Amino acid sequence: MQSPRHEIPESEKDMKKKTPPSINNILLCGVGGQGTLLASNVLAEAAMESGFDVKKSEVHGMAQRGGSVVSHVRFGEKVNSPLIRMGECDLLLSFEFLEALRWASYMKATGKIIVNTQKILPMSVSAGNSKYPENIEETLRKNVSSVFAIDGTGNAEKLGNAKCLNVVLLGILSREVPVIKKEVWKEVLKRRIPQKLLDLNLKAFEVGWNLV
């Protein structure tokens, strides 16, 4: 005699079919005055325009004095928290070398770091109380699968304005976030950038796009 067949309820079948929604965890960090917050706002808005649920959190208490600035941007089908946990960051965009090292502990082993090679000395280093770390790029490469170090500041200066560094870096970042189309990035930039600076920044975005 056969034992009665155990039927799996439809609700359980549905649960087994479903996989957790993919969430993109991107951390942007830099030094006050580099345009880190504008870059994170553009990223968050571009993700929303692309139909994703977006959460963002930032810390910029010393931003006006050249202090550390960091912004967490998370987007996907459904995002509950704006903060990225340590070890869960997919992509780190750093506007300065030391800041990349400062936040590298948030990275997944399979994550990627995009870092501007500019060095801005912290107060403690300028005052002679500490030394700027050496071999930062080598240290970063020990912790993640990929590091892209680029002279973003130099590329911005070639365009005639070092302040468009943030948009050069956004151009690089955009190639690493294929779920957001290039046209969407540009439309958000057109809304966010003052008209008199728009042409310069659109060129800066293209420079970054073509550096990857």
CATH number of the domain that 197 lies in?
Answer: 3.40.920.10
The predicted pLDDT at position 161 comes to 96
Among 115, 209, 196, CA closest to 170 = 209
Number of domains in the chain: 1
Mean pLDDT score, 76-80: 95
The pTM of this model reads 0.86
172 falls within a domain: yes
Residue 12 has pLDDT above 50, yes or no: no
The predicted pLDDT at position 37 comes to 93
For the beta sheet containing 23-31, the strands, ordered from the edge strand earlier in sequence to the opposite edge, are: 53-59, 68-76, 23-31, 89-94, 107-116, 146-150
Q: What is the SS3 string spanning 136-170?
A: HHHHHHCCCCEEEEECHHHHHHHCCCHHHHHHHHH
User: Domain of 62?
Assistant: 23-121+134-211
With contact defined as beta carbons under 8 Å apart, do 32 and 87 qualify?
no
By mean pLDDT, which of 58-62, 79-83, 123-127, 187-191 is the weakest?
Answer: 58-62
Q: Quote the mean pLDDT of the chain.
A: 88
